[in-house]
Amino acid sequence: MSSSKIVDDSYLDISFKEAVRFFKKQSSPGECPMCKSVSWSIPMATEDASVSLSDTGMRDLNGSPVLELKMQCKVCGFLRAHRASFIRDWLDSNPAPNEVSDDV
Coil/strand/helix, residue 12: helix
Task: Rule CB under 5 A: choose which of 78, 85, 86, 95 binds Zn ion.
Answer: 78
> CA 42, CA 20: separation in Å to the nearest integer?
9
Q: Are 16 and 44 in contact (CB under 8 A)?
A: yes
- Piece of 8-16, 27-35, 46-54, 62-70 that binds Zn ion (CB under 5 A): 27-35
Determine which residue in the list 44, 76, 79, 96 makes contact with Zn ion, applying CB under 5 A. 76
* Cβ contact 11:65 at 8 Å: no
Q: Quick one: 66 or 75, whose CB is closer to Zn ion?
A: 75
For Zn ion, the closer of residues 37 and 94 by Cβ is 37
Binder of Zn ion out of 29, 35, 50, 64 (CB under 5 A)? 35
